[in-house]
Chains A and B, each alone.
Chain A
Amino acid sequence: DVKVTQSSRYLVKRTGEKVFLECVQDMDHENMFWYRQDPGLGLRLIYFSYDVKMKEKGDIPEGYSVSREKKERFSLILESASTNQTSMYLCASSYGVQPQHFGDGTRLSIL
């Protein structure tokens, strides 16, 4: 089975901090994605990557950046965390147009 692992289930940070969320997949998928999920807003795509060192903006990229130095790892970076970035963050990976496989999410609180 495909495994998508997010480094933390829960994370608490302070405003202004630089925050790194890590995601690793073990199936050699070329596509990787970062979403955030908020009540009433559903899942929204932040960034995605279809190859190493490649990235594309999703629907809500402001305040975020990403890094993909290795195929299996996709990092989401909050350059200067703000309280409105408190959310559930979900990572996913896929091969071609095959289904996406999701991690269990990181619940991030910015105080």
Chain B
Amino acid sequence: DAKTTQPNSMESNEEEPVHLPCNHSTISGTDYIHWYRQLPSQGPEYVIHGLTSNVNNRMASLAIAEDRKSSTLILHRATLRDAAVYYCILSVRYGNKLVFGAGTILRVKS
């Protein structure tokens, strides 16, 4: 399975944008890039996913490098409720199996 590399932790101020980076230099052509987050005492929650093009949804934006070896999750205005562990994951196409890494702990300061 292709691996991802994320910073251990990041800090942001409330209502400022946050850019969470992820490196995946061994990504294969059929791997989707998924982002999940996990709030305290909850199961992981889907945030966004993409294959080649940048993606936007109500929660976030996903910017994918042209060579697909890195991506960035963008939270446009961080709130205290966005404080969570954010996981960048590459999915093996068959069965949608996900391999979770350690993720990035995002702290949001008021």
A residues bordering B, Cβ < 8 Å? 4, 31, 33, 35, 42-45, 48, 50, 56, 58-59, 90, 92, 94, 96-105
Contacts and interface: CB of A to CB of B under 8 A. Distances in A.
A100 B46 contact: yes
B42 interface: yes
Contact of B96 (A35, A58, A96): A96
Nearest to A97: B96
Nearest to B101: A42
Q: How large is the interface on B (under 10, 10 to 19, 20 to 34, 35 or more residues)?
A: 20 to 34
Contacts of B34: 99
Given A33-B98, A45-B97, A100-B36, 11 more contacts: A45-B99, A48-B95, A48-B97, A92-B43, A97-B96, A99-B46, A100-B46, A100-B96, A102-B43, A104-B41, A104-B42
Contacts, number: 52
A56 B96 CA distance: 12
Contacts of B58: none
23 contacts: A4-B43, A31-B96, A42-B100, A42-B101, A42-B102, A44-B100, A45-B99, A50-B95, A90-B43, A90-B44, A94-B96, A98-B96, A99-B36, A99-B49, A100-B36, A100-B46, A100-B96, A100-B98, A101-B46, A102-B43, A104-B42, A104-B43, A105-B42
B43 A105 contact: yes
